[in-house]
Amino acid sequence: MGSFSDFLENELLDHVFGKAAYSAPATLYVGLSSTNPGDNGSGITEPSGGAYARVSSTNNLTNWPAASGGAKANGTALAFPTATASWGTVGWFFISNAASGGNMLGHAALTSSKTIDSGDTTSFAIGELDITLD
């Protein structure tokens, strides 16, 4: 199971304790990383080229159903573009508030690392992406 980022933890703490309101992003972006992003997101190493792009997902209860047991998971399947060149080996996913750059909201290790070669399509079935409060 993954965890919230330092950024999101601070935003939610400020929201709950009255410093500033937090507005959830309308769209979430799922990315892949060959290195552990860490809670501050500084360790993200995304594939470069080969048609790689973060997958966008409207932030609603269909795509991200209500949390249960302290965890939140995807409610619809998510598929990356077909790789047109090697993306290398990825071992983590992360969720961001932007198609590039932006702020990482959460991250987790994949069940097992995967080498993505030209012609491969990477996808996550319903419930495969799991983020928890830590």
Residue 6 · residue 39 · CB < 8 Å:
yes
User: Residue 120 — pLDDT band, cuts 50, 70, 90?
Assistant: very high
**What distances in angstroms separate CA 46 from CA 21, 56, 89, one per listed residue?**
31, 15, 10
pTM of the complete model beyond 0.85? yes
Question: Contact at 8 Å (CB) between 28 and 105?
Answer: yes
Q: List pLDDT tens digits, range 32-66.
A: 999 999 999 999 999 999 999 999 999 999 999 99
Question: Bridge partners of 96?
Answer: 29, 104
Q: What pLDDT is recorded for position 73?
A: 94
